[in-house]
């Protein structure tokens, strides 16, 4: 058996005694490396760089004694066994030495005890080292649990809480003292099924790990989501003594996921709605134009009243289509720099006349302008919808507050501003103190045709339209609501510099033509006929084509006679955009007006570069058609 290396510091004035001590240890199986000192100065020097496993000291020395050496040793707080080896050591001195810090003592005349004493001292030293190491590990582990970013719970085998860490308190609002002795069921939010809890217990009772999600309830009653890992703690006999739960708050992640799903759902609905709106616009264009033509003719009073109803209802239908287009972000925007403060002030007079007397309207804003680059008509529609929505939430009266403020959004991880780029924004808030919106309704708030109102009281398009208008203006919208207390909508729009104000008058007189020839390109036969008849009433000569190919054939024969091309955007074969490109390639510069229910903004910019003179939004009204045609031909 190989001998164990033992590094010794021997405090001894007799060299022969030192050698005898070393020989005894070597006989006991140790291989010794040793240094002998006999003065206090040398002893202190050796302790300055302690590389020793053991110190053996005589009690009586010529210049100082073992007790003094012990005191010097104790001040250094070294983890080295210190054994007194002396020829004469009474009981009192032995006890005093042990009290002073000696590990043990051995009489020189009984050196046979030395090896067992040394073995025990070294063993105790190792046990002490291991105990300290375990305590250090436990201390580190305890600190890690306390500082963990995850909530940690420890229960006994009956499920009663024995420990929760500070993160648990931060997330739930419950302190350690409030939960000790209670079951984790105090957090139940009522959203986890009985079957899931049974699976949980089945797993952990079998000593396996359970992983899953909880929709729990905080001390203040608010709900939160957390992902959890729950497992058994076992002792050395493999017996379950406790259960450990490590949980992470994922509420923010869940909210972002739900927001992404909602936006995906809204985008899909918007795409479908835009397609439907295109077909309806063609139908409504026919109804609108013919009702306008009839209204201008000779009719009986009864017939004129009926035509007025047709015109009125087609206008209502067109407004619904506009709402759908706004929601689907397909509306054609006529943007300009506007000051929201003046936009709202213009609407205040209307609202004050139309809102019930038991509803108070308040508008607050700071000094200065609130410039945005927006379509004023769409912004007015957005504000109208929000105010009407607030009015409808207060059947017994109340207060509607509108506020304007400028905010600066910096790059930050705030989830409420995740989609907002750093920079300057105008914030519009519309608040009411009405009935509030239940949480289950909030997730469907911007879906078209979703309404909680009674049949006939709303289309379910108002907030969907608001959402689309905000998004088409590169803005953001959020809502906060408490049932029984009220609702606040917040809208954020990017700031835009304002030029000097310009005001334009409005000419309501319908302009007529001078027998100029207009080429209509429209694939829908009924819409084409309505346009044809309308332009003839407006005293224009009209030529018709059902698609781009027919239009090109007509232009090859008589392009010099055609003063204007009025063309639908979407047609089979050669559509409106392709026809325009073909004409420009052939250097045919006839003024070109495009008709559509929707033109993407990026395409509108391209068409302007291609030389589009103007555009008409379907469904057309006679006055709108007359005005644009006259303006382009002027």
- The mean pLDDT value for 284-307 works out to 78
The model's pLDDT over 391-440, given as tens digits with 9 standing for 90+, comes to 988 988 899 999 999 888 765 445 445 467 878 899 999 999 988 988 87
For 579-601, letters b (16+ CB in 10 Å) and e give bbeebeeeebeebbbbbbbbbee
Contact 204, 230 (CB under 8 A): yes
The strand pairing partners of 362, in sequence order, are 401
| Domains in the chain, CATH or no CATH each | 4-139 (3.40.50.2300), 148-249 (3.30.450.20), 255-327 (1.10.287.130), 336-494 (3.30.565.10), 517-633 (3.40.50.2300)
pLDDT: which is higher, 147 or 361: 361
pLDDT: which is higher, 232 or 284: 232
Whole-number average pLDDT of the chain: 83
The strand pairing partners of 247, in sequence order, are 151, 228
Q: How confident is the model at residue 327 (pLDDT cuts 50, 70, 90)?
A: low
Residue 202 belongs to what H/E stretch? helix 194-205
The model's pLDDT over 457-470, given as tens digits with 9 standing for 90+, comes to 555 677 877 888 88
- The mean pLDDT value for 257-276 works out to 66
Which two tokens mark 515? Answer: 């027998």
For 424, list phi and psi in degrees, rounded to 5.
Answer: -100, 135
pLDDT computed for residue 468 by the predictor: 81
For 593, list phi and psi in degrees, rounded to 5.
Answer: -115, 130
The model's pLDDT over 175-190, given as tens digits with 9 standing for 90+, comes to 989 989 998 888 888 8
Which two tokens mark 595? Answer: 């008709």
The model's pLDDT over 372-394, given as tens digits with 9 standing for 90+, comes to 998 887 888 888 889 988 898 89
- The mean pLDDT value for 69-80 works out to 88
Contact 566, 543 (CB under 8 A): no
The model's pLDDT over 595-608, given as tens digits with 9 standing for 90+, comes to 887 676 677 778 88
Q: Pick from 314, 331, 313: which is nearest to 322 by CA?
A: 331
pLDDT: which is higher, 559 or 371: 371
Contact 620, 283 (CB under 8 A): no
Report which DSSP code applies to 180. T
The model's pLDDT over 212-247, given as tens digits with 9 standing for 90+, comes to 888 888 988 888 889 889 888 888 888 898 988 899
Rounded to the nearest 10 degrees, how much is the dihedral formed by the CA atoms of 166, 168, 170, 175? -70
Q: How confident is the model at residue 365 (pLDDT cuts 50, 70, 90)?
A: confident
DSSP strand pairing (104-107 vs 82-86): parallel
Of 63-77, 411-425, 472-486, the one with minimum mean pLDDT is: 411-425
Cβ-based neighbours of 246, under 8 Å, separated by 6 or more: 148, 150, 151, 152, 228, 229, 230
Contact 315, 349 (CB under 8 A): no
Which two tokens mark 307? Answer: 């035509």
| C-alpha span between 489 and 482 (Å, rounded) | 12
Q: What is the pTM assigned to this prediction?
A: 0.43
Q: How confident is the model at residue 34 (pLDDT cuts 50, 70, 90)?
A: very high
pLDDT: which is higher, 522 or 502: 522
Which two tokens mark 624? Answer: 């709108």
| C-alpha span between 561 and 557 (Å, rounded) | 9
Rounded to the nearest 10 degrees, how much is the dihedral formed by the CA atoms of 286, 288, 294, 295? -170
Mind giving me the DSSP string for 396-457? Answer: T-EEEEEEEEEEEE-S---GGGTTSPSEEEEEEEEEE-SS---HHHHTTTTSTT---SPTTS
pLDDT computed for residue 275 by the predictor: 62
- Res. 354: pLDDT tops 70: yes
- Res. 488: pLDDT tops 80: yes
Q: Between the CA of residue 352 and those of 363, 402, 564, 611, what are the distances in Å?
A: 12, 13, 45, 45
């Amino acid at each position: 058996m190989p001998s164990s290396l033992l590094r010794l510091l021997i405090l001894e004035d007799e060299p022969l005694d030192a050698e005898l001590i070393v020989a005894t240890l070597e006989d006991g199986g140790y291989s010794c490396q040793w240094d002998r000192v006999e003065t206090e100065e040398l002893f202190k020097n050796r302790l300055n760089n302690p590389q020793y496993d053991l110190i053996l000291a005589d009690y009586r020395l010529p210049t100082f004694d073992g007790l003094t050496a012990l005191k010097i040793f104790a001040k250094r707080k070294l983890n080295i066994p210190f054994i007194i080896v002396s020829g004469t050591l009474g009981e009192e001195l032995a006890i005093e030495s042990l009290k002073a810090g000696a590990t043990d003592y051995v009489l020189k005349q009984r050196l046979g005890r030395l090896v067992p004493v040394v073995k025990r001292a070294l063993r105790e030293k190792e046990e002490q080292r291991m105990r300290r190491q375990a305590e250090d590990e436990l201390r580190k582990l305890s600190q890690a649990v306390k500082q963990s970013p995850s909530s940690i719970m420890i229960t006994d085998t009956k499920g009663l809480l024995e420990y929760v860490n500070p993160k648990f308190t931060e997330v739930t609002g419950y302190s350690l003292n409030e939960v000790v002795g209670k079951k984790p069921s105090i957090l139940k939010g009522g959203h986890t099924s009985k079957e899931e809890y049974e699976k949980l217990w089945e797993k952990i009772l079998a000593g396996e790990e359970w992983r899953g999600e909880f929709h729990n309830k905080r001390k203040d009653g608010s709900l939160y989501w957390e992902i959890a890992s729950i497992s058994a703690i076992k002792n050395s006999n493999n017996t379950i003594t406790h259960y450990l739960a490590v949980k992470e708050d994922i509420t923010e992640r869940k909210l972002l996921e739900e927001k992404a799903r909602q936006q995906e759902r809204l985008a899909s609905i918007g795409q479908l709605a835009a397609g439907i709106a295109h077909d309806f616009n063609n139908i409504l264009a026919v109804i609108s134009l013919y009702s306008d033509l009839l209204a201008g003719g000779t009719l009986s009073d009864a017939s004129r009243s009926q035509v007025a109803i047709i015109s009125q209802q087609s206008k209502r239908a067109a407004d619904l289509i506009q709402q759908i287009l706004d929601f689907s972000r397909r509306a054609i925007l006529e943007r300009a720099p506007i000051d929201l403060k003046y936009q709202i002030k213009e609407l205040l007079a209307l609202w004050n006349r139309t809102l019930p007397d038991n509803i108070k309207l308040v508008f607050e804003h700071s000094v200065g302008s609130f410039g945005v680059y927006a379509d004023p008509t769409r912004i007015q529609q957005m504000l109208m919808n929000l105010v009407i929505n607030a009015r409808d939430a207060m059947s017994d009266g109340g207060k509607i507050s509108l506020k304007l403020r400028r905010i600066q959004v910096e790059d930050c991880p705030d989830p409420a501003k995740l989609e907002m780029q750093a920079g300057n924004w105008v914030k519009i808030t519309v608040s009411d103190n009405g009935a509030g919106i239940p949480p289950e309704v909030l997730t469907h708030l911007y879906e078209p045709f979703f309404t909680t109102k009674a049949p006939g009281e709303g289309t379910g398009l108002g907030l969907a339209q608001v959402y689309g208008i905000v998004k088409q203006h590169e803005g953001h919208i959020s809502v906060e609501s408490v049932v029984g207390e009220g609702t606040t909508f917040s809208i954020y729009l990017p700031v835009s510099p304002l030029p000097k104000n310009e005001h334009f008058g409005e000419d309501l007189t319908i302009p007529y033509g001078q027998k100029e020839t207009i080429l209509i390109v429209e694939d829908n036969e009924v819409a084409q006929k309505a346009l044809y008849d309308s332009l003839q009433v407006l005293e224009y000569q009209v030529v018709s084509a059902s698609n781009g190919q027919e239009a090109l054939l007509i232009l090859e024969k008589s392009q010099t006679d055609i003063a204007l091309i009025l063309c639908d955007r979407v047609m089979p074969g050669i559509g409106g955009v392709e026809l325009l490109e073909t004409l420009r390639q052939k250097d045919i510069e006839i003024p070109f007006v495009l008709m559509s229910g929707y033109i993407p903004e990026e395409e509108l910019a391209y068409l302007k570069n291609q030389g589009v003179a103007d555009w008409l939004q379907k469904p057309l009204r006679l006055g709108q058609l007359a005005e644009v045609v006259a303006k382009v031909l002027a």
